[in-house]
Amino acid sequence: MRVLVLSDTHAPRHWKACPPALLPELGRADVVLHAGDVCTPDVLDLLAGFAPLHVVRGNNDGPDVAAWGAPDTLELDLTGVRVAMIHDSGQKQGRSARMRRRFPGADLVVFGHSHIPLEEVPDDPRTGVRLLNPGSPTDKRRQPTGTYAVLDLRDGAIVESRIEPLPR
């Protein structure tokens, strides 16, 4: 299963339209995850036209995004990989352990909010959980380029996970 992971698209301020470089990735996705701060549900409509979409509500998402179906947190099973999603995971220090306590059954926690891409694998999965923040494809803040993430999931395992820069 190929999973495209996005966050912090911030339409229409930063997402005027889908970045052209994302279109091939969307076309190859079996599932799309969005970790919040979509800001307008039309982005969700567009993404859902490519593949099943799972989204959580971010701090800049209003009632219209919640009405589209974005809860504050979400837990789902993708080919046996237990994925939890939340927009704001809190401060960096202690994040993995805090997310393990919040989502005790998760194999992976996807989050956003900071716009800083991050992939972190804990030393001990009993006390921490694997984390993935795809960054933002459209609002890079202090990053050199926008980013997104791609996961390859198979038979209950994360076969590959990578954060990709979005070509300018």
In this predicted model, what pLDDT tens digit does every residue of 115-151 receive, in sequence order?
A: 999 999 999 888 889 999 999 999 988 899 999 999 9
CA distance 60 to 50: 24
Averaged pLDDT for residues 15-40: 96
**Range scoring the smallest mean pLDDT among 23-27, 47-51, 142-146, 153-157:** 142-146
- What's the confidence (pLDDT) of residue 31? 98
pTM of the model: 0.97
The 81-86 sheet, strands edge to edge: 73-78, 81-86, 108-110, 130-133, 118-120
Distance CA 25, CA 4 (A): 7
| pLDDT of the residue at 132 | 98
- Which phi and psi (to 5°) does residue 87 adopt? -80, -55
Q: What is the pLDDT of residue 126?
A: 85
> What pLDDT digit, counting tens, does each position of 42-101 carry?
999 999 999 999 999 999 999 999 999 999 999 999 999 999 999 999 999 999 999 999
Task: Please report the pLDDT score of residue 38 as a whole number.
Answer: 96
Q: Say whether pLDDT at 102 is over 90.
A: yes
Alpha helices in the chain (DSSP H): 22-28, 41-48, 63-68, 95-102
